Amino acid sequence: MLSVAILAAGKGTRMESSLPKVLHKISGKSLLQRVIDSCVTLNPDQIFVIIGHKSKEVEESIPNDKKIHFVIQEPQLGTGHAIQVLCREVKKHKGKLLVLNGDVPLIKSATLKKLILLHDSKNADVSLITTKKKNPHGYGRVFLKGDTIDRIVEEKDCNNQEKENLLINAGIYCFNWDNLSKKINTLESNNNQKEIYLTDTVSLLKNSLSIEIEDNGELQGINNRIQLSKCEETIQNSIKEKHMLNGVTFINKASCSISEEAEIGKDVTIEANTHIRGSTKINSNCFIGPNTFIENSNVGINCEISNSTVYDSQIMDHIKIGPYSHIRPKSQISSYSKIGNFVEIKNSQLEEESKVNHLSYIGDSYIGRSTNIGAGTITANFDGHEKHQTKIGKNSSIGANTVFVAPINLGESVTTGAGSVITKDSKDNSLAISRTKQINIENWKKKKS
Ligand code: UD1
Ligand code: CA
């Protein structure tokens, strides 16, 4: 039987934040969610999350799952105290208890499996992960005696000589739960932080083992925003390297960010300062960026999107967007269309080969195939109470500065005169024009004041 305990009750004082530390995010996902996800792959029988500081907020951040149980630690007297509370709350202490600090978010399931394998094969009381850090500042130092761990000394309790030890405790442990529960209440807080340390159990238990892992970033603990940013960099580098090996070019890799779920096809070029977020798919041969933000959208093949933002939308094939376009949720732009500068599109469907090239707002609209929307065209979709639809049939030609006061339904091959305010529907092949006729007053001079 495998149980997991994730320690997430602390405030995270060094983050200098009103948000609990474990709710800070890297690449869009909270530290706590990341640790949970790494554990779920191990298929444990139950996962306990120890919460305390802003417990409601932390609990609500995690989607319901019958395997996940929240245990409240109040007050928070240290990592050892957190496990004391767990052992009191949960009566059955059978099998293994995998304990993880909630602030080591990049830990891989494969590494946890290795730890469990060692633990099982050596029938240990506790096994934990160590690594050698060039700069071990802030971590507990692990002192070995032969094959077993002698003791762990926290940074704040280390003398100068102990500080030289580069072997650190990663904060990830596998315990024989029954043996742990027999010793857990004997922990004391006679240390410089006056906290009950979980790390003191290694000296109380008999068979304490460690497994040293080469540090490739996955063991980075997060106590402050410098370390948060280090983890973000680690994860971003690995995401971008994966895409580069699959045929994606980054012009200025460091200035871009890509979500873990994003899919990017071959021969896509990502220009500087471009951010691909959420579950976005970019198909092959696209040029994206510079200065572009795309979230939860699909982009077809051979598209060019520059200096623009796209949210929750479908962009089909061979489409040019930008510079300075804003595509808002629920838009569908069909193939061979062109959306130009300073154009906002929201909740609208544009059929193939449509063009909205300059300075327009198209909201709640349907634009038929091969229709050209002239510069400055606005769909006035809101009457103060409700939103209404504008429908323009195929092969239409909309004059510059047309305002459509929705609801409006235009037929196919309709032309509107420049500067018209369109308030009535019109049939196929008609010209809709609504503006006062121009008068020229000849020989007119301004009155002198
Ligand atoms: C801890 C370890 C240290 C290790 C490091 C690795 C101890 C005493 N020290 O130090 O050896 O090198 O992690 O990252 O364990 N928490 C609770 N309840 C509490 C206190 C903390 O749930 O009462 C949680 C925190 O929310 C956090 C985790 O435990 O997620 C670790 O606590 P933190 O204060 O960050 O420990 P470190 O000083 O980093
Ligand atoms: Ca920590």
157, two tokens: 């309790």
pLDDT of residue 445: 86
Question: Residues with Cβ < 8 Å from 32, sequence gap 6 or more?
Answer: 6, 8, 22, 23, 49, 58, 61, 62, 102
pLDDT of residue 100: 98
Mean pLDDT of the chain: 97
What does 67-91 look like in DSSP terms, one character per residue? TEEEEE-SS---HHHHHHHHHHH--
Q: What value does the mean pLDDT take over residues 390-394?
A: 98
How confident is the model over 303-356, as pLDDT tens digits? 999 999 999 999 999 999 999 999 999 999 999 999 999 999 999 999 999 999
Question: Residues with Cβ < 8 Å from 66, sequence gap 6 or more?
Answer: none
Q: β-pairing, 25-26 with 29-30?
A: antiparallel
DSSP SS3 for 225: helix
436, two tokens: 């006062």
**CB–CB of 248/230 below 8 Å?**
no
108 Rama class: left (phi>0) / alpha (psi -120 to 50) / beta = beta
CA distance 11 to 268: 43
Q: Where are the beta strands (DSSP E) in 342-419?
A: 343-346, 349-350, 355-358, 361-363, 365-367, 372-373, 378-380, 390-392, 397-398, 403-405, 408-410, 415-416
Q: Is 358 a catalytic residue?
A: yes
Instruction: Tell me how far the alpha carbon of residue 149 lies from the centroid of ligand 1, in angstroms.
Output: 19
pTM for the model stands at: 0.91
- For ligand 1, pick from 22, 34, 50, 101 the residue to mutate: most ligand atoms within 8 Å of CB: 101
pLDDT of residue 446: 80
Q: What value does the mean pLDDT take over residues 195-220?
A: 96
**Phi, psi angle pair for 148, to nearest 5°:** -110, 170
Q: What is the helix (H) or strand (E) element at residue 269, kind and residue range?
A: strand 268-270
CA distance 122 to 119: 6
**CB–CB of 205/122 below 8 Å?**
no
CA distance 398 to 410: 11
pLDDT of residue 215: 86
How confident is the model over 44-91, as pLDDT tens digits? 999 999 999 999 999 999 999 999 999 999 999 999 999 999 999 998
**CB–CB of 291/310 below 8 Å?**
no
What percentage of residues in the chain have a pLDDT greater than 90?
A: 98
- The gap between the terminal CA atoms of the chain, to the nearest Å, is 96
Q: Which residues are near ligand 1 (CB < 6 Å)? A: 7-10, 22, 50, 73, 76-79, 81-82, 101-104, 139-140, 152, 154, 168-171, 197-199, 221, 223
pLDDT of residue 290: 98
